[in-house]
Amino acid sequence: INTSPAVIKSEPEEDNGFYPSPQHIKTSKREYDDEECEYKPKKVKTEHDKKAKKRKHEYEEDEDESADINSYSDADAIVVSSLRGCVLLLFVVIRWEEERYTDGSKWRFLEHKGPVFAPPYEPLPDKVKFYYDGKPMKLNPPAEEVATFFAKMLDHEYTTKDIFRKNFFKDWRKEMTSEEKSKITDLNKCNFSEMSEYFKAQSEARKQMSKEEKLKIKEENERILQEYGFCIMDNHKERIGNFRIEPPGLFRGRGDHPKMGMLKRRIRPEDIIINCSKDSKQPKPPPGTKWKEVRHDNKVTWLVSWTENIQGSIKYIMLNPSSRIKGEKDWQKYETARRLKKCVDRIRNQYREDWKSKEMRIRQRAVALYFIDKLALRAGNEKEEGETADTVGCCSLRVEHIKLYPKMDDQEYVVEFDFLGKDSIRYYNKIPVEKRVFKNLQLFLENKQPEDDLFDRLNTSILNKHLQELMDGLTAKVFRTYNASITLQQQLKELSCSDDSIPAKVLSYNRANRAVAILCNHQRAPPKTFEKSMQNLQTKIDEKQNQLSAARKQLKAAKADHKASHDDKSKKTVEVKRKAVQRIEEQLMKLQVQATDREENKQIALGTSKLNYLDPRISVAWCKKWGVPIEKIYNKTQREKFAWAIDMAEKDYEF
DNA sequence: TTCTGCACTTAGTACGCACGGG
DNA sequence: CCCGTGCGTACTAAGTGCAGAA
């Protein structure tokens, strides 16, 4: 039901003026600068184009002569063990893929060993008892297993929550025999504490294991990794992301989830769909079992899938981020964001114009897009009520999520946002908006209840359809990628200083990274030990400071001594003391930098933006430009994921 | 057109282990 | 060498977006 009128009858605004926000003035200026610095990527492109052309040519010849699909594979049968070393090949392959797989297929050959299943349930020893209403009771294994899931979570807050308990109890009862069912009717009369103690003792014992035992387990894990953790996809041996099937347990949703506590059932081979190529060696199901299905669908990238019982959604086993297929997609994502950079001014002018439209749907679309652009909000798909926690994104914002303040302190037209976003993370922000946006928001709010949609004539599908018309491949999430990456680049430019030491440069990088994380609202729970470790660090700093003043005193004394005696020995002492002071100063500075960095990071998670939003070529170029080793910015896993960028980007790369 | 299913990206958290300082 | 702790990694939930069915 649309609460808003479709057409806006009278223009309530007196001004037709154009008020670009400071942010946008800055952006357009920056864009202009950026356009001029494009020569390097172009050069890179030409290089690739040449090879690609050559490759294409060769391929066409193959096709013409024999149409033998194997001829390509033979010519390029190079198993890439290190992606990094073979980037030129990678490019060729990528260019080739683009031209080759116009039909949307993702691979030609795929072979793997299937998933690793969760270990079977081991019943509790008889001495570990469950009590109902004070009396010991032996449960049959299925009911006992589900009981252990609850027992293992006893220390967690959510086992006290009503919904969790209700959902758990309902699902638990399904596993009971009719006898157990009739006896166990009240969760409050259940005593799991002996079971809980048993598991605590078990995990304690695991910690206390000898070195040899631990090594043995490690080796076994490594063996499983080697056997099941890799697959062959089109001549590459690739690492699989998640080759273990999720074990059964109690569902833990995030936030206020209506399904928390439900039983996540055990996945059996009969639930599993295998995807691989026809000509590959198919994975074998465990003895005495069958797969649900084996299919050969090369239009998708997953190797294994099953349907999960909580939401009824499909889960997949896919490749690691270091794989060709993921890296290529990632690269593509940033290229789309870079194309947005080229036309973002036009799009911004467009939505500003649309704020004045006669049609309500267009105004709503334009204001929503403004939020997505300016505040990096997510699109906000509709969700099924009662199936998930009540969270929203831009298009699904409700009246209750914003407050309008015509005046606040010394600012005008302030909008206050307060809502739960993805993962039930709170988004809270107060921002001044342009008058026209403000007036539009007032209009959208007219005659609505708090629980009504703010944008009642808009959804993500309408918005994305519009975006698609503005630029090929443009969707709402591209704005997040674009704004994140451009912010990093601009912040790095602003913060970096050639005189800085490497740690200071890394701090600048982290600060730039942090600006993005704040923009994208990437939060984390403050580490449990945060206060304490902060105190420890402060103590260290204090100690260092004392050390420094002591060292300075000694230096002064040595200088005085030297002035008096003018001998070689005293001169040496002065030098030694000077060096000592210098060393301590450096150490102190390092500590202080560390403290600042950590304090500023208390509730901000940098990882998500680094991994998903920041064009890695910006970081690589920055490292090259300022002589910072890439290892200071990316750990090993990240370097593997971004191998394509590490080899591609030169120091003057511009996003 | 709207709805639903599917595939894939993005997200925070728990946990274990390597590493650095005392 | 031991201990605490902070980082890396595994895990899996929760988003986005598109295509095809209804």
Same domain? For A395 and A515 the reply is no
How many domains is chain A built from? 4
Q: Facing residues of A135 across strands?
A: A132
Residue A414 in domain: no
Give the C-alpha separation, A294 to A274, whole Å.
5
State yes or no: pLDDT of A138 exceeds 50: yes
Where does residue A274 fall: left (phi above 0), alpha (psi -120 to 50 degrees), or beta otherwise?
Answer: beta
Mean pLDDT, residues A461-485 taken together:
97
Please tell me the least confidently modeled range out of A93-102, A289-298, A510-519, A605-614: A93-102
Give yes or no for a contact between A243 and A115, defined as CB atoms under 8 angstroms apart: yes
For chain B, which bases have at least one atom within 7 A of a protein Cβ? 2-3, 6-14, 16-17, 22
Distance of A519 CA from C7 C1′ (whole Å): 24
**Cα gap A538→A595, rounded to integer Å:** 8
Tokens of A336: 């789309």
AA identity, residue A276: C
Using pLDDT thresholds of 50, 70 and 90, give the confidence band for residue A460. Answer: very high
In window 589-618 of A, residues with CB < 7 A from nucleic chain C are 607
Under 8 Å between Cβ of A399 and A451: yes
Task: State whether A153 and A289 are in the same domain.
Answer: no
More confident residue, A63 or A346: A346
pLDDT at A382 over 60: yes
Residue that wins the pLDDT comparison between A409 and A3: A409
Q: Tell me which residue of A230, A247, A254, A237 sits closest to A114, measured CA to CA.
A: A230
The pLDDT value given to residue A208: 80
| Nucleic strand C near CB of residue A478 (< 7 Å) | yes
CA angle (A535 as vertex; A532, A536 as ends), nearest 5 = 90
Question: Read out DSSP for A570-629?
Answer: HHHHHHHHHHHHHHHHHHHHHHHHHHHHHHHTTTB--HHHHHHTS-HHHHHHHHHHHT--
pLDDT higher at A315 or A70:
A315
CA distance linking residue A259 with residue A390, whole number of Å: 12
Read off the CATH number of the domain in which A190 is found. 1.10.10.41
User: From the Cβ of A336, is strand B under 7 Å away?
Assistant: no
CATH code of the domain containing A586? 1.10.132.10
Instruction: For chain A, give the percent of residues with pLDDT over 70.
Output: 85
What confidence tens digit (pLDDT) does each residue in A548-573 have? Answer: 888 888 888 888 888 888 888 888 88
Q: Is the pLDDT of residue A367 over 60?
A: yes
For residue A517, being part of any structural domain is answered with yes
By three-state DSSP, how is residue A117 classified?
Answer: coil
Same domain, A490 and A598: yes
Strand B and chain A: which residues 453-472 have CB closer than 7 Å? Answer: 461
Are A595 and A617 in a shared domain? yes
User: Do A219 and A141 share a structural domain?
Assistant: no
The tens digit of pLDDT for each residue in A489-520 reads 999 999 998 888 888 899 899 999 999 999 99
Residues A445 and A358 in one domain: yes
Q: What is the pLDDT of residues A147-195, one digit of tens each?
A: 999 999 999 999 999 999 999 999 999 999 999 999 999 999 999 999 9
Asked if residue A12 has pLDDT above 70, the reply is no
Residue where a domain stops, chosen among A291, A320, A349: A320
Query: Is the torsion defined by CA of A157, A158, A159, A165 positive or negative?
Result: positive
Kindly state whether residue A505 falls inside one of the protein's structural domains. Answer: yes
Give tens-digit pLDDT for A213-243: 788 888 888 999 999 999 999 999 999 999 9
Count the alpha carbons within 13 Å of A231 in the hemisphere toward its beta carbon. Answer: 34
Distance CA A540, CA A555 (A): 22
With b meaning 16 or more CB within 10 Å and e meaning fewer, what string describes A392-426? bbbbbbbbebbeeeeeeeeeebbbebebbbeeebe
| Chain position carrying tokens 């040595």 | A558
Alpha-carbon gap, residue A472 to A339, rounded angstroms: 9
Is 60 exceeded by the pLDDT of residue A583? Answer: yes
To the nearest whole number, what is the mean pLDDT of chain A? 84
Please tell me which residue in A198, A370, A613, A653 is annotated as part of the active site.
A613
Q: Pseudo-torsion of CA A634, A640, A643, A644, nearest 10°?
A: -120
- Average of per-residue pLDDT across A628-637: 94
Does some domain include residue A58? no
Neighbouring-strand partners of residue A263: A250
Q: Which domain holds residue A341?
A: 326-399+435-474
Distance separating alpha carbons of residues A479 and A343, to the nearest angstrom = 12
Distance in angstroms, CA of A527 to C1' of C9? Answer: 17
Record the tokens describing residue A367, joined without a space: 């204001």
Give yes or no: residues A194 and A261 share one domain: no
pLDDT of residue A140: 96
What is the CATH number for A243?
Answer: 2.170.11.10
pTM (2 d.p.): 0.82
Do A639 and A502 reside in the same domain of the chain? yes
Domain boundary among A420, A449, A474: A474
CA-to-CA separations, A370 to A175, A307, A510, A632, in angstroms, rounded: 51, 38, 28, 36
In the predicted structure, residue A480 carries a pLDDT above the cut 90: yes
A212-226, A378-392, A616-630: range with lowest mean pLDDT: A212-226
Decide if A410 is inside a domain: no
Which of chain C's bases lie under 7 Å from a protein CB? 5-19
pLDDT tens-digit readout, A251-295? 999 999 999 999 999 999 999 999 999 999 999 999 999 999 999
Residue A487 tokens, joined:
């912010």
Work out if A381's Cβ lies within 7 angstroms of strand C.
Answer: yes
CATH number of the domain encompassing residue A378: 3.90.15.10
Tens of pLDDT along A27-69? 332 332 332 222 222 223 333 333 333 333 333 333 333 333 2
In this prediction, residue A497 carries a pLDDT of 87
Statement: the CB of A590 is under 7 Å from strand B: no
β-bridge pairing A110-111 and A190-191: unpaired
In chain A, what are the helix, strand and coil shares in percent, each to the nearest 5?
55, 10, 35
Known catalytic membership, residue A59: no
Cβ proximity of A295 and A274 under 8 Å: yes
**Same domain membership, residue A540 and residue A525:** yes
Beta strands in A296-441 (DSSP E): 304-307, 314-317, 402-408, 411-420, 426-432
Same domain? A491 vs A617: yes
Nearest to A324 by CA among A81, A496, A528: A81
Q: What is the pLDDT of residue A15?
A: 41
Regarding whether A293 and A311 lie in a shared domain, the answer is yes
Give the domain-ending residue among A293, A320, A347.
A320
pLDDT at A30: 31
CA atoms within 13 A on the CB side of A54: 10
